[in-house]
A and B are shown apart, each in its own frame.
Chain A
Amino acid sequence: MSDVKSASYTQVDNEQAEIVADEDVVILTSHQAYEKYPWSREYYDEEPKEGYFIWARRTTGKPISTCVLICSQYVTQDAQNVILIDEGVEAQMESACAAKMKSLFGKHIGRSKMILKDNAKLEYKHVHSWGEDDDVQSTTDLIMGKGSEVIYSQKCQRVPKSLRLINYNYIEESASLNYSATVIAKEGSVEMYDDTFLNGKKANGISRVRMIARDNAKFTGKSQIIANEAATGHMDCMGLILGDDSNIIAIPQLVNNCEDASITHEASVGKISEDVVNYLRSRGLSEDEAIDLVVNGFMGEEEDIVIDGVKLDSSLFM
């Protein structure tokens, strides 16, 4: 992640802690936006008490960052967030939702709407890092205008006791989405749902879900692509089982309502092949190092987490 801070929002527990905005990106609390811009109310389920409103009006080339933290015990967050990217604007965004330490017994509900106007572009990385006693549900509606492009990745390497990641992606004509969600869990219950609606001609949606279950983790991953127009889509839903008591359910589903649409999927759930482990051992790695290497490869590159504008490695949290 870049050290350059263009615009940012930080929330600690239930209070907005800091907002840094510039002339190209409007950042308000959701409550402020609800009051100031009546037109924004259509994006909220109800009058918001927490969360952020980000409105990218011009292309800046610098990242927008948000951080929603739980720092105290027994906090319940209900963050309603709106990200609005104006027509033709390109934005890069990095978000972290996290508990600052273990055993805070927090509850985080995130309800986000990302709206891209026609031909807008967004590259969005969202990292979660929680304590093992937290309870988290994050729901995102992604609404993509014609010709817009989104690269959207979600990662969670420290899962709470219960994690639900829910995404609804609505893609209009000639718009393109590349979505990936990767979660590694040692314990706890993880549910990952994503529905991608191809609503316009030449729309393209790709969904990649990666689930890695260690020890006693229980996963359910359900991905669905619904083609309503002559569009293309692909999903892959992959699970790695690394513990005897772990469990993964992968449910890929394709719904084609248009004869000119082309949608495909692949899915696999299993342990790391012994051939691969032995091969890596023959390159001098121990069995544990071999497994770690494969898992890291499966997850992709490590993501930093930004707290108060400072880059932190996720391992520093706990």
Chain B
Amino acid sequence: MSLLKIDNLSTEVDGKGILNKLNLKIEKGETHVLVGPNASGKSTLLYTLMGYPEYNVTEGKLLFNDEDITDMEIEERTKRGIAGVYQNPPAINVKLSTLLDKISEGKKQFKSIEGLEGLLDRDVNVGYSGGERKLSEVAQVISLDPDFIILDELDAGLDIENLERISQVVKEELSDKTLLIITHRGRALKFFEPDYAHVMMNGEIICSSKDSQKIWKTIEEDGYERCKEC
């Protein structure tokens, strides 16, 4: 039984089709990387997996731990162990410490993460730098203690030092989790050793391989179009 099975999934937003008969299986404990150019549908996959209502599933289904979650509400998916690290989370006039307390409900305290202390009394994502935003996102996800985490553009808006720091936190705190890392830059691949890499274009996965470095090298040298010939 796969932890996550995406079966022939198509979605649309505002009547525009984005994901197109997508298939993907992720086993428990695996790390997958999904790469693709801008507007290929990577973030749509995140929001569809999370259950955002404007992402309308028109075909196919989502199975998580063999349970059909296709029509499940957002918070119910979260309670079943799915969590997302967002690229552009909204600003909220709520202190980060308040939100962490609320979402962790006494499961764990993660205030010891380096750099988090200075954020706890600040409102969530208000005036945050790129690194602070990612740290806040990762801290929230750690507090949720999920089984499966989707990390959207982990390397966006971070300098190399911050990317290394955030990647280290993810590796240390989420080492036993199943990860789907979404990126179009590939810089995050320096810090992770994925079990599988997938290339997405036009809402479809057009190539999958265990050799993520080879895929990224191909993309860097010949561009995403070359992946169509994979």
Enumerate chain A interface residues (CB-CB to B < 8 A): 273, 275-276, 278-287, 289, 293-294, 296-298
Contacts and interface: CB of A to CB of B under 8 A. Distances in A.
B92 A282 contact: no
Contact of A281 (B75, B95, B144): B75
Given A278-B53, A297-B98, A285 B89 contact: no
A293 B99 contact: yes
A279 B89 contact: yes
B52 A285 contact: no
A281 B74 contact: yes
A286 B123 CA distance: 20
B140 interface: yes
Nearest to B74: A281
Contact of A285 (B50, B75, B84): B75
A279 B85 CA distance: 10
Interface of B: 50-53, 73-75, 77-79, 83-84, 86, 89-90, 92-95, 98-99, 102-103, 123, 140, 144
The list of the 3 closest CB pairs from A to B, nearest first, reads A297-B94, A281-B74, A297-B93
Given A278-B53, A278-B74, A283 B94 contact: no
Q: Could you say which of A273, A282, A293, A294 has the most chain B C-beta atoms within 10 Å of its C-beta?
A: A282
Given A279-B86, A283-B99, A294 B75 contact: no
Contact of B90 (A279, A281, A289): A279
A280 B86 CA distance: 12
A296 B94 contact: yes
B84 A282 contact: yes
Contacts of A275: 90
Contact of B92 (A286, A287, A297): A297
Given A279-B89, A281-B75, A283-B144, A293 B95 contact: no
27 contacts: A273-B90, A275-B90, A278-B53, A279-B90, A280-B92, A281-B78, A282-B51, A282-B52, A282-B75, A283-B78, A283-B83, A283-B99, A283-B140, A284-B75, A284-B103, A285-B102, A285-B103, A286-B75, A287-B75, A293-B98, A293-B99, A296-B94, A297-B92, A297-B93, A297-B94, A297-B98, A297-B123
Given A283-B78, A284-B103, A297-B93, 17 more contacts: A278-B53, A279-B86, A279-B89, A279-B90, A279-B92, A281-B74, A281-B75, A282-B52, A282-B78, A282-B84, A283-B83, A283-B144, A285-B102, A286-B75, A289-B102, A293-B94, A297-B95
Contacts of A284: 75, 78-79, 103, 144
Contacts of A287: 75
A273 B125 CA distance: 15
A281 B144 CA distance: 12
A283 B79 CA distance: 9
A290 to B, nearest CB: 9
A296 B94 CA distance: 8
Contacts of A281: 73-75, 78
Q: Could you say which of A279, A285, A296 has the most chain B C-beta atoms within 10 Å of its C-beta?
A: A279
Nearest to A278: B52
Contacts of B123: 297
Nearest to A297: B94
A281 B86 CA distance: 13
B144 to A, nearest CB: 6
A285 B77 CA distance: 11
Q: Could you say which of B51, B86, B102 has the most chain A C-beta atoms within 10 Å of its C-beta?
A: B102
A294 B94 contact: yes
A273 B77 CA distance: 21
A276 B103 contact: no
Nearest to A293: B94
B92 A294 contact: yes
Contacts of A286: 75
B101 to A, nearest CB: 11
A135 B109 CA distance: 46
Contacts of B93: 294, 297-298
